[in-house]
Structures are given as C-alpha cells and as structure tokens.
Structure 1
Amino acid sequence: MTQRKPAGVGFETWVERQIREAQEKGEFDGLPGAGKPLSGLAGPHDELWWVKEKVRREEGTVLPPTLQLRKEAAEAREAAGRAASEEEVRRILGEINAKITEAIRKPMSGPPLNLMTFDVEHVVREWRISRS
C-alpha cells in the first residue's frame, strides 16, 4: 500500500476502496484470528490494550534484562523443585547460577538485579526432604 491518495478523492472513500480491493484479492484470508471475535471488547476501554496483549503473547519478553533474569531464576527454582533427579536439580541450578554470576560480573541494564546465586547443596537437601 504505497499509493498516495489521489487529489479530489475523499480520504474515507479512498481507504474503503483499498480495503475492498484487498478483500477481493483475498489478502485478508487466513490471517490469525480470522472469524473470531476481538478479545477484550467486553472489558472497559483501555488505550493500551494492544501493548498489554503483546506483552501477554510474548510472555513478558519486553522486561528489562535484570527483571527477565529474576523471572528466569524464580522459574529455575520451581523447576528444580519438580526435578526428577538430583542430577537434574544440579543441572538446572548450575545453568541459572552461571547466568546470575555473569550478570553480577557484567551489570545488566534495568533496575538493580538484587539476586544471588543459589546455594545448590541447600536446594538439593530441600529437594531430598520433599521426596521422602
């Protein structure tokens, strides 16, 4: 849609014509969500609805790096608690601890990290107790 609006043609008429022509060519066929109602129509008006929807779809990947690492650390801790073996607990914690150590060594952008590496032996002991 790189065409310019012709002089003397009303803007609304020009836009409506382009939409109609695109529909006739099938350019709107197969789009995600086709035939489904728009989400959020029943809720209160929110000018930032599309931003919130994108953040929800992207699962928070727009977080500053320090907050994203905090989220990953919390998820790693939960995953370690659900691990099937002690080796898996150690692997999960080893991976996140490496990321945390790197972030402490080379500060990341965003709010303060306020995160320390996990005490692997302590978490392993907790994991063993929860299994018995």
Structure 2
Amino acid sequence: MVHWYESSIDRQLREAAERGEFENLKGAGKPLPDAGKDYDEDWWVKDWAAREGATAGVVPPTLAVRREVEDLDEKVGRLRTETEVRDYVGELNERIRKARVGLMDGPPVVLPPLDADSVVAGWRERRR
C-alpha cells in the first residue's frame, strides 16, 4: 500500500490550479526575464528600482548608509579637522541607528556603530 503525503503548500497549489487561478497569467508562455544571463548580485536592487520607478543612481536609504560606511576612509580623508571627523561619525552613527531599527526604507542593516576614536586615529594616520 502506497501512502501519499501532500504538504499544506502543495495542497494550496493543487487547489488553486483546480480553481483555474494560474490560467491567463501575465507573461504566460513568455521566457523568464534574464534567462541565460550571468548571475548579478544586485539583481534585487535593480528589480526594486524598476518596480518603484526609481531613476538610475537612486538606492534605498539603508543601502546608501552601507555604501557610506564602505567609503568612510575616502569621505573623512576630505575633512580638515578632528571636530569635523567626529561630527561626521556622529551623524553617520545616527543614520546607522535609524537603519538598524527599521526607520529607513530598504533592506535590513546590521552595521555596528562606528567608533569615533578609531576613525579619528585612522584619519590622523592617513594625514601623515
């Protein structure tokens, strides 16, 4: 005797197909978008931008914060005083905090706050 198990998801899909909910779907019979292309790590950002009608160069605020942290040395390298560096790190830490608690649009951010003393030490070292 063969016992057949159907998960709840399989059951929901089967029932929807029986009701005809998958008939006449937009794109039926057409190739999948990007089929045959190389994998792009940023596919989801590009998809988001296309869906939201964002213009080129516009990224969600949480991604902008992540990019800013990546470019930190370059940004603080253009600052002239230690006070400017500390102020910048304070402002960036506030944006990181907002991104971490979900007060900004975009994908989740798990960046730790920056240590102003370490950033200042690096800034001094690079200025020598």
Task: Give the TM-score normalised by the residue count of structure 2.
Answer: 0.49
Say which structure, 1 or 2, has more relative contact order (CA 8 Å, 6+ apart): 2
Larger Rg: 1
